[in-house]
Amino acid sequence: MGGVRVLEQVNLTLPRGDFLAVLGPNGGGKSTLLRLILGLLRPGGGQLRVLGAAPGQAGGRIGFLPQFTEVSANFPITVLGAVLMGLVRPGISWPRGRAARRREREAAMTALFRVGLAEHAERRLSDLSGGQRQRVFIARAIVSGPELLLLDEPTASVDGRSRQEFMALLAELNRDMTIVMVSHDMSTVDGCVKSIACVNRTLHHHDDSRLTPLIFAEATGADLVAGCPVELLAHGAVPHRVVLDHDNPDCCGGRHAHGPKAASAGSQEPEKGGRAS
Amino acid sequence: MMEALAYDFFRNALYAGLLASLICGVIGSLVVVNRIVFLAGGVAHASYGGVGLAFFLGLPVLPVTAGFSTLAALCMAWVTLFSRERADTVIGVLWAAGMALGIILLDLTPGYNSDLMSYLFGSILAVPDSDLWLMAGLSAAVLVLVALFSRGLLVMSFDVEFARSRGVPVRFLHFLLMGMTALCVVMVIRVVGLILVMALLTIPPFMAERRARSLPGMMLLAGCLSAVFCVAGLYLSYALDLTCGATIIAVACVGFVISLAVPQRRRPIAPAGAGPQGGEPVAAQIEGRVGA
């Protein structure tokens, strides 16, 4: 809408089954990328395909976990009721018959069982802890059986111990679905994440997750505009070998092994494919 | 109170109060959970322009006010959707402009208007049968609309971002909600006046929100609380010879304070000895136990 250009020269293809962590500073365009994939924003140019369709057309094939802060804590709803919302269909949802409601209930219970909260189905959502609530929202996101799960800062409001359990849950879900997780929290990158995208106006995709020095990038607020934040840091105190594959040819003057993908592929905006690898 | 029920005007007052309770329970709950109380306040005050317009043109008050308020509500809905950062200011302007327009139009209307105050503070003891029918019709229309769009309204109220991502027509539902709020406000103006309309729209739903387990449950509970306040307020105003609208709101406010004093339901699986105030540590313990 004639505004600021948030993202440019973004080229990203995601294989099925990937677990991508999207990292970067505030205002760098992480959430914009997510909204583009969801079809809530339209790109100014370029091509974008999500699960082989135009963004916004995938419906329940995409599961989405918005930022925790969007949800009012006092809302009068049970755990089961919150999960059932994940089965809402696009457009006007006319009232459903009894059989349809029973089927939806069963699907919701299955999703709750999967996140380990089946016994809390009838409790008020506000009675649950922050970590439990996040798992309810995961259940809401997966109740429609999605192929792609999009998470916006899922661990921001979860304390350390619950965070580990939460990440273990995501790793388990990753067996069935592709996951894209926007995060501030570098500690989530450990373990289950399979690849990393650094977003700060442009996007750098790393096909590896051994990037613990990134913690410093956030902490120090390093000038990330000049190049890939990972590289800037990795060239600092940490041995460079933590970065295995890299897609920015200008980054290290060709001294290190870089991936074949160049950022100058011509696309102005994010490209997101659901093609099976 | 029984002897008072012999009077037509008092029976009508009771019916009007109960109808207003029903509709305030439903719409007030949606207003509260969507956090658009300020918007509803704007609509309520801007609707005064509709009252002035009706007097000026010599037309029936309720239909004209309903149309005017709906128009104002849709304007505000449009502003909140498309120029979000200025929305509260613009609503403040519409709020003031509607009231000013109403008063100026009343000034320009020849003759003395004794009814002026009744629309500010309510005239529940002077509800004619025709208004009662109109109220019943509006209530039925609003109830049918809410029932038809209940799922979309629920998902939107709970989490707009998620609703959008699933293709729920959030814009349409927002306009619909604002339109229904306007109709509700016009109805309640009759009962407690537009100055006090906010109290009936917010106090019962607020009390219900903390205890209900679903949005329909909250609507039902809020409606019942509202009905209790209306009946009790009417009785007290009759017994103590006080202004009806103000007494109803006074009763509601007392109920509000009592509900704050009564502790909320305990967390069912909180360990013994942990009070409801120990929220975070308790939650952490529960979390650990579930995960183990």
Between A88-92, A100-104, B265-269, the lowest mean confidence (pLDDT) is in: B265-269
The whole-number average pLDDT for the span A224-248 is 44
pLDDT at B254 over 90: yes
Section A220-230 average pLDDT: 46
At position A132, the amino acid (one-letter code) is Q
> Regarding predicted confidence, which is higher, A210 or B133?
B133
pLDDT for the residue A185 = 67
Model confidence pLDDT, tens digit, residues A105-163: 999 999 999 999 999 999 999 888 888 888 899 999 999 989 999 998 887 777 777 78
* Residue of chain A with shortest Cα separation from B205: A76
Q: Which CATH class is domain A19-69+146-242?
A: alpha beta
Q: What is the average per-residue pLDDT within B100-109? A: 88
Instruction: Specify the fold of B4-263.
Output: ABC transporter involved in vitamin B12 uptake, BtuC (1.10.3470)
The pLDDT value recorded for residue B281 is 36
**pLDDT score, position A210:** 57
Q: B204-229, pLDDT tens digit by residue?
A: 999 999 889 999 999 999 999 999 99
Which pLDDT tens digit goes with each residue over B150-209?
999 999 999 888 898 888 999 999 999 999 999 888 888 877 777 678 888 999 999 999
Tally Cβ neighbours within 10 Å of residue B128. Answer: 13
Per-residue pLDDT band at A69 (split at 50, 70, 90): low
Is A277 near chain B, with CB under 8 Å? no
Q: What is the pTM of this model?
A: 0.79
| Residue ranges covered by each domain of chain B | 4-263
Tell me the average pLDDT of chain A. Answer: 73
Q: What is the mean pLDDT of chain B?
A: 83
Higher pLDDT, B61 or A103: A103
| Residue A206 DSSP symbol | E
Contact B166 A127 (CB under 8 A): no
- Which of B156, B158, B219, B269 to substitute to test the interface with A, most A CBs within 10 Å? B158
**Can you read off the two tokens belonging to residue A172?**
């388990």
Model pLDDT, residue B275? 36
CB of A129 within 8 Å of a chain B CB? The answer is yes
| HEC-encoded secondary structure of chain B | CCCHHHCHHHHHHHHHHHHHHHHHHHHHHHHHHCCCHHHHHHHHHHCHHHHHHHHHHCCCHHHHHHHHHHHHHHHHHHHHHHCHHHHHHHHHHHHHHHHHHHHHHHHHCCCCCCCHHHHHHCCHHHCCHHHHHHHHHHHHHHHHHHHHCHHHHHHHHHCHHHHHHCCCCHHHHHHHHHHHHHHHHHHHHHHHCCCCHHHHHHHHHHHHHCCCCCHHHHHHHHHHHHHHHHHHHHHHHHHHCCCHHHHHHHHHHHHHHHHHHCCCCCCCCCCCCCCCCCHHHHHHHHHHHHHC
Of B152, B161, B214, which is closest to A78 when you measure between CB atoms?
B214
